[in-house]
Structure 1
Amino acid sequence: MQQITEPSTSKQIVAKRSIWKDIFRDKYLYLLFLPGAILLFVFKYMPLYGVAIAFQDFNIFAGVSGSEWVGFDHFIRLFQTPDFKQVLWNTLVISFYKLVASFIFPIILSLLLNEVRHSLFKRVTQSIIYLPHFISWVIFAGIITAFLNPVDGLFNYILKLLGNEPIDFLGSTEYFRAVLVSTDIYKGVGWGTIIYLAAISGVNPELYEAAIMDGANRFRRMWHITLPAIRPVITILVILSLGGILNAGFQQIYLLYSPLVYDVGDVIDTYVYREGIQSANYSFATAAGLFQSVIAVILIVVANRMARKFGDGGLW
């Protein structure tokens, strides 16, 4: 029996020594990694202790350890609340629109920019589309509000010049979702384009040269060479986007919406904020947030398995 266990034990010892040897060799890289790991642990993993209040009748004075346990009562109440059903539907609809838009537009724009041969025009265009990504939603929402103001906003000024009545875009249930999706596209399309252009730059130029020799036009080269080459990157970004399908964008919606558009614009994040912070229903709001997180994890795992099944790789 001793002869059977000794080889495995020696292999484990060698593996441990090899790991510590690698860590010592790359110690400076691990030191660079350490601040990010600490921040991740402090702000992402330590707060998980507070998830327990979703199963309690939380009392702020008694704390987590002293509050009464109620099990899944808050989850049952959550699914029986009529408002939550509408909030969940709004979240799914808005997130789906944003997911499709963030998937299509950056790919199209990166393909078009890759075909531009005038370097000055290409650089100026890239700077213009990248700039909104680095502007906070607070500032960007102020710009949007100024442009869409029904009294003196630029868009309504143009409508008046064309003989039309002004429209309250941010106060209309008919237009509010379109405003959310279009502004999200404008703000985020530049970042997605950066990623796809970086992936495109790694495509072997000889493939394009061979396609040109075979008489393929630009559209054929994009369709048969560029898109298949960046498909793994597209797959990974789609998987990550699916994980946030119940995260419709708290900052954007909170800064732009009002009670007039709650029916079409109220999402889980804003609902949790109102219930948890403004109404002090901490346990109920935590249950809603935990439900959102669990669904996100399930979607990421399912999407990753599907991607690996179809041979496009995955996150792990």
Structure 2
Amino acid sequence: MEAPIVVNESSQVAEARRHAVSVGKALGFSEELTGRAALIVTEAATNLLKYGGGGTILTRPYADIDSTGLEILVLDKGPGIADPAASQRDGHSTGGTLGLGLGGIARQSHFHEIYTDEKGTAILARVRSDEPAPAASRPRQWLNVGGLSTPLAGQEACGDAWASRWEAGALWVTMVDGLGHGPQAARAAHEALRVFQAASVTATPSEVLRAAHAALRSTRGAVMAVAVIRPMLGAFTFAGIGNISAQLISPSETRRLPSTDGTVGYSVRSIREQSYTWEPGSMLAMSTDGLSTRWTMAGHPGLQRRHPSLIAGVLHRDFSRSNDDATIVVVKDEQG
């Protein structure tokens, strides 16, 4: 579960900065890297108040195949930025300030992206805990993963969860929605993640779901989906139980992926495992029913070219519902 910090008034800027420092220290960041993260969050939070009408900031660890570090996701529903490129140049300002905010974020980040339109602005910034491996020794990675999971308003525990792992040239991804809300739903989701993480590299998505079905019998149960992508082979396998929404968006078509009826841990009559071709440039998006089933990329031109964490953040901002835990995870193939 992630807990975005709401920034609607000036005292919350300091709260967001303190949280960034805390995450940096937990990651073992040096004073210099922790300072970078604190500056990014401070500038982002200040901009939220000045230009975005308030918003949220999520600061969390990230782990890619070749680097780890701290990720900052900033979301607002303001009027958007008329000229994103100009806004990142020092001295550019539409609010009578020195105009150092977005330029400062860019300088302090090892990686950053902005997506903005009339629905609002989203900023992704990353500070690496270590430099990437030299190109000669670095694994070839074409798949990037990002997601966002939030609890029902007023709840501390989240019944949704997701995870990913690389094994033997394959990317494994799962999404789980424990029935109901609160601690018992979270317990079911965490148990399903434990089964997923412990699964053999030779297992299939349907075998993982069967193992989770056995393990979750002492819980209230969950709906769950498992996907395995083998980019070198151009192969993709998927299986789901219950109302997990999944879309495979390839350069040639968009396909909704079917799940079978049932509840993991209670009633599973059959598991239907499907295999598809994974094309360069494809994208997989999975969401729980905390997001509207009508979510679409169509109203967000250019969003698919962004990092999966930014894509997930924008879709979560625009399509999550206030009456449920809400989770979306995006896998993107960068070969296209």
Q: Fold conserved (TM > 0.5)?
A: no
Higher strand share: 2
The TM tier, using the shorter chain, reads under 0.3
- Which structure has more RCO (C-alpha within 8 Å, separation ≥ 6)? 1
Bigger radius of gyration, 1 or 2? 1
Structure with a larger share of its residues in helix: 1
